[in-house]
Structure 1
Amino acid sequence: MKINHLTSAEENLMKLFWNLNSFYLKDVMEKHSEPKPHQNTVSTYLKILVEKGYLATEKEGRIFRYSVILPFEDYKKFVLRELTNNFFNSSGKEILEFLLKENLISQNELKEYFDLKIEIKPSKVKAPTLEFAEEILNPKKDKKGKNKTKKKKKKD
């Protein structure tokens, strides 16, 4: 699905609509902060947002019920990708460098984030073999050596 760009006025209204999810024109007028726009202005924006694919309409008698059809998360992804492509050479690294340089994120916040996201699994380590310790503690008895000592004892 192709996402269309929004003007700042459309985006401000959409923030309200994402909170409402499903609404009538009168709901928008009640919930909009002061100074409230004229009802015809809001109606025009609603029509534009339907054409752009952000809202759907359902006629109920003489009025329309509007529903959000593009989730806020999808719009955020779209805006971030556009920003990345247009201003940061499609590089996430450049975005991080910019955020750090402008103090929009701290190195500690970044470290905390990655500490939470990186899961280190311990590798399976073989139990060490203690060959030398075993030889010292439990020396192997040489059969030939036993025989020689026995023979020597017999001669004496």
Structure 2
Amino acid sequence: MKKLTLKEEEIMDILWDNGPMFIREMLAFYKEPKPHYNTVATLVKLLVEKGFVCYRPLGNTYQYEAKITRKQYHGSALSDIISQYYDNSYTKVVSQFIEDQKMDLEELKKLISEIENNRKQ
């Protein structure tokens, strides 16, 4: 899956949080100074081309919505990082967290419990 730029992710966050909408509606979610309508329209067009957003014509305009969920995108981005930096080993990732003291024993036990529960289902 392709990566999003910060500006593209900003639009995706608006769509993920609020559902389908028109570009004019998206503009309401930006803080001042708001970007120009054409700037947002161009970014949305790029998101359509990348396959992140789809649209449906309504009258003489289009309503846009996310084609993938936030969870799908974040999962794909995480998989890319694990592939690139950890040889596709989730064990190496967890080991890194433990070595860097970003995960303690209680969190590790909770993770093991979640894995065991998911295997039972």
Determine if the TM-score, normalized by the shorter chain, exceeds 0.5: yes
Counterpart for residue 79 of structure 2: 81
Which entry has the higher C-alpha Rg, 1 or 2?
1
Q: 1:21 aligns with which of 19, 29, 50?
A: 19
| Alpha carbons of structure 1 residues 35 and 91: separation in structure 2 relative to 1, 3 Å | farther
Counterpart for residue 58 of structure 1: 56
Relative contact order (C-alpha < 8 Å, sep 6+): which is higher? 2
Q: 1:92 aligns with which of 87, 90, 93?
A: 90
Quote how far apart the aligned CAs of 1:115 are: 3.2
Counterpart for residue 130 of structure 1: none
CA contact under 8 A between 1:16 and 1:32: conserved in structure 2? no
The ranges of structure 1 where at least 4 consecutive aligned residues each deviate by more than 6 angstroms after the TM superposition are none
Counterpart for residue 111 of structure 2: 113
Normalising by structure 1, what TM-score? 0.66
**Structure 1: where are the runs of 5+ without partners?**
120-156
**Structure 2: where are the runs of 5+ without partners?**
none
Q: 1:33 aligns with which of 22, 28, 31?
A: 31
Counterparts of 1:32 and 1:55 in 2: how far apart (Å)? 19
Counterparts of 2:21 and 2:44 in 1: how far apart (Å)? 11
Identity, % of aligned pairs? 25
Quote how far apart the aligned CAs of 1:13 are: 2.0
CA contact under 8 A between 1:53 and 1:69: conserved in structure 2? yes
CA contact under 8 A between 1:54 and 1:70: conserved in structure 2? yes
Q: Which has the higher helix share?
A: 2
Amino acid at match of 1:13: I
Partner deviation per Cα, 1:55-109 (whole Å, 9 max, x = no partner):
1111112211001111222212211110011111111111112222334333221
Normalising by structure 2, what TM-score? 0.83
SS where residue 23 of structure 1 aligns?
A: coil
Q: 1:47 aligns with which of 45, 57, 66?
A: 45
